Structures are given as C-alpha cells and as structure tokens.
Amino acid sequence: MDKLLIRGGNRLSGTLPISGAKNAALTLIPCALLTEEAVTLRNLPRLADIDGFQHLMTQFGVSHTIPGKRPEDFGRNVTLEAMRITSSVAPYDLVRKMRASILVLGPLLARTGEATVSLPGGCAIGNRPIDLHLKALEAFGAQIEMAAGYVKAMAPDGGLPGGEFDFPVVSVGATENALMAAVLANGTSRLINAAREPEIVDLCNLLTAMGAEIEGIGTSELTIHGVRKLNGATYKVMPDRIEAGSYACAAAITGGEVRLEGAEAGDMGSTIHALRNIGVEIDTDKKGITVSAETGKLKAHNLTTAPFPGLATDMQAQLMSLLCKAEGTSVLKETIFENRFMHVPELTRMGANIETEGRTAIVRGPVELTGAEVMATDLRASMSLVIAGLAGKGETTVRRLYHLDRGYERLEEKLQLVGADIERVGDD
C-alpha cells in the first residue's frame, strides 16, 4: 500500500490548477440514467470515487467513452450513454465503499419505475441516514420497502405523480436525489428547505440543459415541473471549492503565495471569509484566486460549520491544521457530523495543542509542528495531515492514501508544482 512522504518547511509558490468538483461530479454522473441520449461531462476529475461510480453505472447498462485519453492532463471528458437500462439493481459489492451511490435511486426510479439499491458506505465521519431521501421519494408517490440491507423503491403504473416535501433539516444528498426523481414526474413537485450548495446549482444547471423545468435554482425552495423525457447534453463540471480551499490552507500554513487557477471565488465565500479573518490575503478574479500569507502573522479565529452558505464541514479539518500555527486560541464547532474530529489525535502526534469536547475543538497556537508517522482516517482528515506535514519540521509519513485518492486528483503532483517536497512511495 502506498504512503506519502512529506519533508516540511518549503514555502509554496507558483500556480496550481483546480480540478472539477468531486461532490458535483458524483451528482452529475447519475443524470445519464434519465435519458436515452448521450451526456458528456467535461472536466471530470480523475478520482477513485469517480471511477467507482462509473463502474456502478455499467451495472445498469450505461456505456462510457473517454475520447483522447491524456494521462498527463488533469481532468478528462467522459461521455455516458444509457440508451437502455438493463438492470435497476445496485448491488452491495459496488455500493458499499461510496455513500454517493445512493444517488442512483432517484433517477432509476424516475426512468424505469423501480430501483433496488444497497445501503451505502463511505467515510466513517458520523451517522448519515438516508431517511430523508426515502421520505422525499414517498412524498412524490413512490412505495418504499427495506429488506436485507437494500432499499426497494417502486413508482405507480405510469410513473411518479410528483408532490411536495418540506425537509425538516437541510440535506444535500436528499435534495439531489429528490431533484433527479422529480424531473420526469407526471406533475409538479416542490422541495421546501432544500439545500443550496453550489453543487446542487450545478446539478440543476445540467438538468436544465437536458430539458428539465426547474424554478428557484440557488434558493431553498425548488419547483420542478415534470417533463415526458430529457435529452442529452454536454456540460462542464464546476471547479472543486473544497480542493481550492484545501490548497489555500496549504499555501497559507507555509507562508507562501499560490495562484489557484480555475477556482471560483463565488462558491467559496465562507472559506475565503474564514481565511481572511485568520490573516490570509486573498485576491480574486474571474479566472481564479491568489492566496498569500506571512509566517508568524496568522491569528486565531472561531469557526462553526453550517449548511451553505455557512462554512462547509468539508473544510473544518484543513482550517484546524492552519489554526495550529495561528496566535491565540481558536474554537471550532462541528454542527454537521458528530464524529469529524478523528484527525485530532494524529495532529497531536505532530505537536498540535488541541482539546475536544463533544462537537467542539479548542486549538491553541502557535505551535511548532514536527514530522511524524500518521494515519488517514477519512478524506478531509487526510488532507489536514498533509497540510500539517507541509509546515512540519522533518519528515511526515501519511498512510492509508486511499482516502486521499477518493477526493484529490494527483495531489502530490499538484503540490510538487508549487515547490512541496512530497512523494508517493510503496510501503515497505
């Protein structure tokens, strides 16, 4: 199994390209199930989760082609075509490693009238039930059964009639599943207290390009007028705001200056606000953002995660690493997941001064971080260890890279572009 070796202390400087968004891509791919025509996604990141989802799509009879394979490039274009759905079953072996697999439930139900999907897996960052996915589909007229670890959804003869669902709490995944189910419903559907994340806007924009009729895009109330069929489309995946925020933290913790080419500042408001309050300079333009910071001039800041437009839970671990080098005491509150401080013991091994109580972490800084052997526990926690390692004295070894490979396209190559001393090596 591979591991990362990081020799800390280098100031990052230069230009680093931002890939297509993983969280958006995993929502756009199942849209191909909604039409007989080809859907081409541009700027699709090369990630383990993307490969896994494409493999799942072949289970349903979806073909995919990758024109002009160029492994030296970041991202790629993929054409998906579901001319005929050959199966509506998503088996356990294909679903267990990736929570996003549940997003085939809505489009399969809409297109074929039935779907049988194994309960999903993913990062062990807390309890993430799918009850809101199922309740939304039931509100649209689906019949739901659960047995032996599988969800079976059935639409009435003639298809889903549509309906209205008011989310008791904001749920990104349930909003996405409900949207994809509603676009082919016979009537009009409404989603109230829907999630507003940029990735959902990206999904709505693709569905609209395919012929869907959606009102309220970007707001918490979505109205979907069902259509008889959708057409194919060519669509570019939005830039990854979490990847951009992660590399911004990496640049800042080293006192560097890095241009994040392709980053979309409009999607990163809460992250940019947090970084500026910590003492990081951010310059934005239409083609990206530039991040710079001075060593010794970072300051403590209190943070609380929240649904968009609040601070993304996916940025909490990376900002925590950065705050280890900030002057003063910072308090971080995690409101989304109950088990998202698993990186704290590993950061402590590197010299961090962090205390946790429930969903609150107290970070005291600045401290001198030192290299250590650390273990990745989930996707974003993994990146927090890389960020700490870049600023640490000596060598840091990060193991369990399969977490990183799920969400960061060729991470070590991108960091090498801006001067990091980092390499991937085989385990002894």
Is 130 annotated as ligand-binding? Answer: yes
Contacts (Cβ under 8 Å, ≥6 apart) of 37: 81, 230, 231, 232
**SS3 category, 327:** strand
Quick one: tokens of 77? 């274009």
Query: How many angstroms separate the CA atoms of 368 and 187, rounded?
Result: 60
Amino acid at 381: A
Is 417 annotated as ligand-binding? Answer: no
Catalytic residue (one of 31, 123, 204, 249): 123
First to last CA, the chain: 9
Quick one: tokens of 367? 């401290």
Is 405 annotated as ligand-binding? Answer: no
Is 6 annotated as ligand-binding? Answer: no
Is 272 annotated as ligand-binding? Answer: no
Task: Write the DSSP assignment of 12-75 as a string of letters.
Answer: PEEEEEPPBPHHHHHHHGGGGGG-SSEEEEEEE---HHHHHHHHHHHTTT-EEE-SS--TTSSS
- Do 249 and 318 meet the contact criterion of CB atoms below 8 Å apart? yes
Quick one: tokens of 303? 């943070």
| Residue 123 designated active-site | yes
β-bridge partners, 303: 332
Query: How many angstroms separate the CA atoms of 176 and 194, rounded?
Result: 9
**Residue 295 to residues 107, 154, 314, 376, 418: CA-CA distances in angstroms?**
49, 58, 25, 26, 17
Closest CA to 208 of 190, 187, 175, 183: 183
β-bridge partners, 373: 397
Query: How many angstroms separate the CA atoms of 241 and 390, rounded?
Result: 21
CA-derived radius of gyration, the chain: 22
Is 22 annotated as ligand-binding? Answer: yes
Is 287 annotated as ligand-binding? Answer: no
- Do 4 and 423 meet the contact criterion of CB atoms below 8 Å apart? yes
Crossing angle of helices 269-278 and 241-253, rounded to 10°: 10
Is 23 annotated as ligand-binding? Answer: yes
Annotation: binding site for phosphoenolpyruvate: 22-23
Annotation: binding site for UDP-N-acetyl-alpha-D-glucosamine: 99, 128-132, 314, 336
Q: Which residues are catalytic?
A: 123
